[in-house]
Chains A and B, each alone.
Chain A
């Protein structure tokens, strides 16, 4: 028997493409955000709100990831920003190759911010680098306060967390103290934005964070 010893990263191919994307974003002075959440946490509504508030000051491009349908891209297209829909046809996450293919349809030299909405899934997308500056995890009140403890990988890797549907807090058993205790333990550096994307509550500090990201270096990943 022969043993071949090596140390080759399983995701090296993905990471190489992600690094090329990162270079491309840097060269074009584009900041990229990778939005990750369970299905139905409100990523698309958060995007709509953010675009409506920021599109008069900044160029924004969007890549939408879903297993099927172009419904999200149709929603975003109504806001008159460049958008590409990736239909993964079953794959539970976006990878760097998919972004590399989709990015050719975005006028990268005309945008300041690229928002990538990952496939709704709190597990798999956390493993794949897309060349983004920051991963943002979106959690909605209705999902329960125990999610960071149950799905810690994404909360560990994220730079920021949007705690969405905060208007539902009085009607749910979401334990906000337990949530912050878990976050403090899992990722004490995580920035948390409590907001309601549909009601527009608390959206200001989120927008300010995005603006800060766009205007400074923002190399947080």
Chain B
């Protein structure tokens, strides 16, 4: 259940950026999560719901974009998904390609209302 710790980190990032942009209320948060981070989306959403209470992000929806792990074969230049093949190239059988995507874990957007919209 390290998702609770991760959710708390997300909330800190969101609240700091929302305040800097004068958002009064956050409605949605976009998070990009690479496959190798190994988070469970349901657990992250649950951890977020619990941890967001009393913050600007209390009513926000968490939108998680899954990034599949992608391997680049250094032998034949083929790109393939780690999920199916690990580091074993399905094209030329070379073992030991390079991970080019799938280790990311970042907040990519925050949707919200600023004070002026709130009154309209």
Contacts and interface: CB of A to CB of B under 8 A. Distances in A.
Task: Determine the main DSSP class of B at the interface with A.
Answer: mixed
Interface stretch (A105-113, A158-166, A168-176, A182-190): A182-190
Contacts of A123: 2, 38
B2 A8 contact: no
A9 interface: yes
Contacts of B27: 1
A59 interface: no
B79 interface: no
Interface stretch (A79-87, A91-99, A196-204): A91-99
B76 interface: no
Contact of B87 (A1, A3, A187): A187
B95 A10 contact: no
Given A1-B113, A1-B117, A95-B5, A7 B10 contact: no
B57 interface: no
A124 B87 contact: no
A208 interface: no
B85 interface: yes
A126 B38 CA distance: 9
A151 B37 CA distance: 12
Contacts of B10: 10
Contacts of B86: 152, 182, 185-187
B23 interface: yes
A22 to B, nearest CB: 18
A92 B96 contact: no
B111 interface: yes
B60 interface: no
Interface in B58-113: 85-88, 95-96, 99, 105-113
A12 B6 CA distance: 11
B9 interface: yes
Contacts of B114: 2
A8 B17 contact: yes
A156 interface: yes
Contacts of A92: 1-2
Interface string A31-52: 0000000000000000000000
A219 to B, nearest CB: 18
Contact of B21 (A2, A126, A189): A2
Interface in A59-86: none
A91 B108 contact: no
Interface of A: 1-14, 91-93, 95, 123-124, 126-128, 152-153, 156-157, 182, 184-189
Give the top 3 A-B pairs by smallest Cβ distance, nearest first.
A185-B86, A124-B2, A188-B95
Given A91-B2, A123-B2, A156-B36, 4 more contacts: A7-B108, A8-B13, A185-B95, A189-B96
